[in-house]
Chains A and B, each alone.
Chain A
Amino acid sequence: ILNVEQSPQSLHVQEGDSTNFTCSFPSSNFYALHWYRWETAKSPEALFVMTLNGDEKKKGRISATLNTKEGYSYLYIKGSQPEDSATYLCAFEGNKLVFGAGTILRVKS
């Protein structure tokens, strides 16, 4: 059974704080690692798809890194804003997507 773990489970930060989350996944049969942001009552939105060991991707204040050999990815948010409040999901892609349980981020203004 594939196990994708995310930590922490939830996080409450102040506006302006920088934060990071972890996703750990199996290091075998790896094809891609996906990060999604899921706001309440909306569709999960793709943030990044990462395929190569050492990949680093950035979109505005959000960035992610990938280590396929040790099986982890970090998502960083610099200068958190209230609109960053959402659940952040990672998904391991082998022959299908296997999701972690997500990290719930709440940013207080």
Chain B
Amino acid sequence: DTGVSQNPRHKITKRGQNVTFRCDPISEHNRLYWYRQTLGQGPEFLTYFQNEAQLEKSRLLSDRFSAERPKGSFSTLEIQRTEQGDSAMYLCASSTPRDSYEQYFGPGTRLTVT
């Protein structure tokens, strides 16, 4: 499968714990995006990378959130000291200039903070 993959697909954690999610984009896609989707809402932009550079961060991304893409391939999103309000679906997408930057999405990681 050459699509965008995300791991884990589901994560249940207790409030105050740290969690890390991984996204593997489509090979050779230079842009990678993270979104968060809560019940009844559409996906909301969190941040994006062009290669290894993090070019934009939403104000939604508090200090407890950090994202990395160290070698310009896979990316990780870490949430420290999780809160119940962090419960959401975290989606990753990737894109390339060849497709006019059309974004291809992964299946998401559903986080539940208890």
- Chain A interface residue count, CB cutoff 8 Å, equals 20
Question: Which of A12-20, A66-74, A90-98 makes up part of the contact surface?
Answer: A90-98
CB < 8 Å neighbour of A101 from B41, B91, B102, B103: B41
Say how far A36's CB is from chain B's closest CB, in angstroms.
Answer: 8
- Among residues 68 to 94 in chain A, which have CB atoms less than 8 Å away from a CB atom of chain B? 89, 91
What residues of A have a CB within 8 angstroms of the CB of B104 in the complex? 43, 46
Among the stretches B43-51, B68-76, B79-87, the one at the interface with A is B43-51
Query: Interface of B with A (CB < 8 Å)?
Result: 3-4, 33, 35, 40-45, 48, 56, 91, 100, 102-108
Extra pairs beyond A44-B43, A99-B35 (17, CB < 8 Å): A6-B42, A43-B3, A43-B4, A43-B104, A46-B102, A46-B103, A46-B104, A49-B100, A49-B102, A91-B42, A96-B48, A96-B56, A97-B33, A97-B103, A98-B45, A101-B41, A102-B42
